[in-house]
């Protein structure tokens, strides 16, 4: 597990197939959590907007929630791009060694 925690940047390319698969599952869980937070922010923003904004505090809250959703969306998109690179590497390795199962 410590090897996966150091898998920042291009270091993940040095990991074995099993470690890469575990890294992908871990990243899927993190991305799912972030998507859940985006959904919650969107739901709260919608409820506040449907009810009508009573004052500047609610307007600021809606602005913060929208900004949070946009920032998290960008992070999720970047995570997905890295995941696609990891998938491509796994496919390349499996094509190079068709009989090896990890």
The reported pLDDT for the residue numbered 8 is 57
pLDDT in tens, 31-63: 999 999 999 999 999 999 888 888 999 999 999
pLDDT digits (tens, 9 = 90+) for 55-68: 999 999 999 999 99
User: Positive or negative, the Cα torsion across 44, 47, 48, 50?
Assistant: positive
Kindly report the number of other CB atoms within 10 A of residue 43's CB atom. Answer: 11
Sign of dihedral through CA atoms 99, 81, 3, 30?
A: negative
Residue 97: CB atoms within 10 A of its CB come to 9
Query: Higher confidence at residue 5 or residue 55?
Result: 55
Per-residue model confidence (pLDDT) at position 97: 81
Residue pair 86/24 in contact (Cβ under 8 Å)? The answer is yes
């Amino acid at each position: 597990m410590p090897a996966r925690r150091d898998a920042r940047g291009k270091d993940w390319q040095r990991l074995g197939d099993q470690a890469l698969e575990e890294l992908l599952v871990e990243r899927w869980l993190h991305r799912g959590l972030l998507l859940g937070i985006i959904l919650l922010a969107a739901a709260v923003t919608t409820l506040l907007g449907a009810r009508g904004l009573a004052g500047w505090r609610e307007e600021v809250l809606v602005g913060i929630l929208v900004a949070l959703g946009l920032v998290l969306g960008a992070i999720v998109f970047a995570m997905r791009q890295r995941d696609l690179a990891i998938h491509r590497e796994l496919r390349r390795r499996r094509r190079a060694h068709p009989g090896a199962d990890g």
